[in-house]
């Protein structure tokens, strides 16, 4: 979503509502985000410009679906998201301000919207239809509870005496 300085200066004093649909191609999404695709995002909100401080306030809500890799099988998993935020842009911004600077007399808010979507990425994604964990010859993926169960079961009897050891002060 792009706005020029003239469009920003012509905003009504009580603000202006907006509604737009965005899509992000996989080459537009940095690899570090871990998002494979974002097919369509419904963007709505309100734009307000304060002529005294020269700040553009953007109240935005993003609704959509992102495609993430399953943490176990790396298969595509669609995840719904909703993000609400308030962004402040300024023509004059100090280094200490939390204000996003408007450069070159225009602004493209799309990268900032992508950053808001990135904040909604869950740390672990497991596809809902996963019934059996992957395994192969000499290896297998196990759940944390199964790991703890096996760990308790396989205590080495040769180390049992060490567990009884209590240090003594001299």
pLDDT per residue as tens digits for the range 70-80: 888 888 999 99
Q: Do both 159 and 78 map to the same domain?
A: no
139: Cβ–Cβ under 8 A, 6 or more apart, which residues? none
Q: Do both 105 and 152 map to the same domain?
A: no
Mean pLDDT of the region 83-96: 80
The label of the residue with tokens 């200490």 reads: 96
Residue 94 pLDDT > 70, yes or no? no
Q: Do both 15 and 77 map to the same domain?
A: yes
| Local confidence band at 26 (pLDDT 50, 70, 90 cut-offs) | confident
pLDDT of residue 11: 86
Does some domain include residue 123? no
* Residue 69 belongs to domain spanning: 2-118
Q: How many structural domains does the chain have?
A: 2
Q: Do both 145 and 97 map to the same domain?
A: no
Q: Do both 81 and 149 map to the same domain?
A: no
Residue 152 pLDDT > 80, yes or no? no
Select from 78, 70, 74 the least CA-distant residue to 125. Answer: 70
Other CB atoms closer than 10 Å to residue 114's CB: what's the count?
19
Q: Do both 47 and 90 map to the same domain?
A: yes
Q: Are 62 and 41 in contact (CB under 8 A)?
A: yes
Residue 97 pLDDT > 80, yes or no? no
Q: Do both 7 and 81 map to the same domain?
A: yes
For residue range 4-24, what is the model confidence (pLDDT) as tens digits?
888 888 888 888 999 999 988
Select from 24, 31, 46 the least CA-distant residue to 117. Answer: 24
Rounded CA Rg of the chain: 26
Q: Do both 16 and 93 map to the same domain?
A: yes
- Write the DSSP symbol of residue 34: -
Q: What is the phi/psi pair of residue 28, to 5°?
A: -85, -15
Q: Do both 40 and 112 map to the same domain?
A: yes
- Write the DSSP symbol of residue 27: G
Q: Do both 155 and 88 map to the same domain?
A: no
């Amino acid at each position: 979503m792009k706005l020029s300085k003239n469009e920003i200066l012509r905003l009504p004093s009580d603000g202006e509502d907006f509604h737009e649909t965005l899509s992000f191609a996989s080459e537009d999404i940095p690899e570090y985000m871990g998002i494979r695709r974002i097919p369509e995002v419904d963007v709505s909100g309100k734009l307000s410009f304060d002529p005294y401080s020269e700040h553009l306030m953007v109240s935005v809500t993003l609704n959509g679906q992102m495609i993430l890799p399953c943490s176990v099988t790396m298969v595509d998993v669609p995840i719904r998201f909703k993000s609400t935020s308030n962004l402040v842009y300024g023509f004059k911004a100090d280094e200490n301000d939390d204000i996003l600077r408007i450069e070159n007399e225009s602004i493209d808010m799309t990268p900032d919207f992508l950053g808001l979507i990135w904040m909604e990425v869950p740390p672990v994604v497991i596809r809902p239809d996963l019934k059996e964990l992957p395994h192969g010859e000499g290896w297998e993926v196990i759940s944390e509870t199964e790991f703890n169960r096996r760990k308790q079961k396989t205590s080495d009897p040769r180390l049992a005496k060490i567990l009884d050891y209590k240090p003594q002060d001299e």
